[in-house]
């Protein structure tokens, strides 16, 4: 499927234009995420960290009304069920039963430090905020549930890191290619390497959050710390590819291929 290679894509006006649209879309989505989520993306996290312990049990904490649950309420729960199975569509979970008999299904992104040490019947201390069970604690350790307030600013920054570099490269490259199509019918090694680098950047961006998925708190800098070395290696590889292609082309130009057999050679005349 040579047409799906960077050189094959750039050989066709249609596929080049489609890649241009993809690049523009990646840049646009990144910009929208940053504009919408970055300014106020930490409001819930900051509110949670600033919340004080409740003086008494919130009257409507089970119903989940925010007005009665701005404070942090802690209470004992009994572990009723545990599932350590984790797939793309299913997270590790535990069912916790409160003193009043209410059952809370909680989900987790990792096994530790609390969940993997629990068995059915064990007791844990749960923290409830705005009607959501946000943390559990046992044996001196605590662990966040999926209901813990999300840092949407960090998620927007990570999303932009995944999409923006590849989108900018793809947009610039495809615009360059379409504008030079008549003067340069065949894509240059630099064009091919740039498109390949754009796709490689996107894949590296997808892998970077996975590499730090076990961290308790979402932060953008560990993702960037993983992505940047990969991006540097990929860029060096792209430069090496272009250099090899140019050296190969220069070598072909110098040799010019085998000499054509002229009339003198055909008649057996001395050289």
Quick: pLDDT tens for 143-152: 999 999 988 8
Please give the pLDDT value at position 262.
43
- Name the more confident of 42 and 77: 77
Residues 6+ apart with CB under 8 A from 146: 91, 106, 107, 108, 109
Mean pLDDT of the chain, nearest integer: 85
Compute the distance between CA of residue 3 and CA of residue 70 in angstroms, rounded to an integer: 57
pLDDT tens digits along 5-16: 888 899 899 999
Compute the distance between CA of residue 26 and CA of residue 31 in angstroms, rounded to an integer: 9
Domain edges within the chain: 2-36+151-252, 43-144
Please give the pLDDT value at position 184.
80
Contact 194, 177 (CB under 8 A): no
pLDDT tens digits along 70-104: 889 999 999 999 998 887 778 899 999 998 888 99
Name the class of domain 43-144: mainly beta
Contact 28, 143 (CB under 8 A): no
Number of Cβ atoms within 10 Å of the Cβ of 157:
24
């Amino acid at each position: 499927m040579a047409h799906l290679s960077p050189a094959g894509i750039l050989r066709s006006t249609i596929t080049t234009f489609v890649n241009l649209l993809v690049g523009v879309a990646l840049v646009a989505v990144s910009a929208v995420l940053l504009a919408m989520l970055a300014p106020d993306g930490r409001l819930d996290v900051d509110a949670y960290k600033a919340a004080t312990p409740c003086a008494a049990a919130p009257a409507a904490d089970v119903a989940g009304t925010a007005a009665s649950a701005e404070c942090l309420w802690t209470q004992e729960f009994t572990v009723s069920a545990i599932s350590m199975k984790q797939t793309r569509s299913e997270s590790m979970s535990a069912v916790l039963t409160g003193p009043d008999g209410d059952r809370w299904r909680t989900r987790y992104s990792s096994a530790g430090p609390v969940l993997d040490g629990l068995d059915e019947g064990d007791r844990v201390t749960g923290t409830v905020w705005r009607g959501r069970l946000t943390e559990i604690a046992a044996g001196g350790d605590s662990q966040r549930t999926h209901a813990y307030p999300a840092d949407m600013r960090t998620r927007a920054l990570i999303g932009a890191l995944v999409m923006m570099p590849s989108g900018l490269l793809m947009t610039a490259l495809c615009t360059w290619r379409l504008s030079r199509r008549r003067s340069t019918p065949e894509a240059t090694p630099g064009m091919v390497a740039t498109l390949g680098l754009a796709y490689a950047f996107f894949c590296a961006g997808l892998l970077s959050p996975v590499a730090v998925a076990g961290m308790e708190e979402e932060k953008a800098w560990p993702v960037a710390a993983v992505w940047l070395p990969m991006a540097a290696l990929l860029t060096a590889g792209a430069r090496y590819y272009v250099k090899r292609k140019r050296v190969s082309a220069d070598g072909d130009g110098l040799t010019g291929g085998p000499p054509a057999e002229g009339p003198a050679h055909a008649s057996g005349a001395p050289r």
